[in-house]
Homo-oligomer: A and B are copies of this chain.
């Protein structure tokens, strides 16, 4: 077993893989933060999606009025879904990219720009900043993922 562990440790000891692990974890944690922000807005705006969530506000009509759609909650939820749509491809393609033997400098460049773009995107969505802030930050993250996909397919293409 200790020899197998050694092999595993070699993966996580690789600098490119460490950089991938770091930035993938950061953007996944950032995505998870959206759940907390949604919960915060649901509670401060008193806008819930499930009858059982409003039970503590009383019974009948007095609770029912909190089953409603709030624009601030919906904004965070759109930001969360946009994260899912973009962080999932980054995680998947990024993992394969990290295993495709890029040089450390290029890999770090990809990971850092993606993480920066997604953090900017979140601020642009939640504040919100005037367009094209959100559109541009989305496009930068998208382009980084496409660039990594190109490297994966160039290295590993097997149809």
- B residues within 8 A CB of A84? 84-85, 88
Binding site secondary structure of chain A:
helix
- B residues within 8 A CB of A149? 25, 28-29
Evaluate contact between A142 and B35: CB separation under 8 angstroms. yes
Binary flags per residue of A127-159, CB closer than 8 Å to B gives 1, else 0? 011110010000000100110010011011111
Cα-based distance from A14 to B99 in the complex (angstroms): 11
What is the CB-to-nearest-CB distance from A46 to chain B, in angstroms, rounded to a whole number? 15
Contact flag A12-B80 (CB < 8 Å), given A28-B89, A149-B28, A149-B29? no
- B residues within 8 A CB of A145? 32
Which residues of chain A (88-102) have a CB below 8 Å from chain B?
88-89, 91-93, 95-96, 99-101
**For the complex formed by this chain, how many copies does it contain in all?**
3
**Smallest CB-CB separation from A29: which chain B residue?**
B149
**Smallest CB-CB separation from A16: which chain B residue?**
B8
In-complex Cβ contact of A13 among B4, B128, B146, B157 (8 A): B4
In-complex Cβ contact of A152 among B10, B25, B155 (8 A): B25
29 inter-chain pairs at a CB distance below 8 angstroms, sorted by A residue, are A5-B101, A8-B14, A8-B99, A12-B99, A12-B155, A12-B156, A15-B158, A18-B156, A21-B158, A22-B152, A22-B156, A22-B157, A22-B159, A25-B92, A28-B89, A29-B146, A31-B85, A31-B89, A32-B85, A32-B142, A34-B85, A50-B75, A52-B128, A52-B134, A53-B131, A55-B130, A84-B88, A88-B88, A95-B95
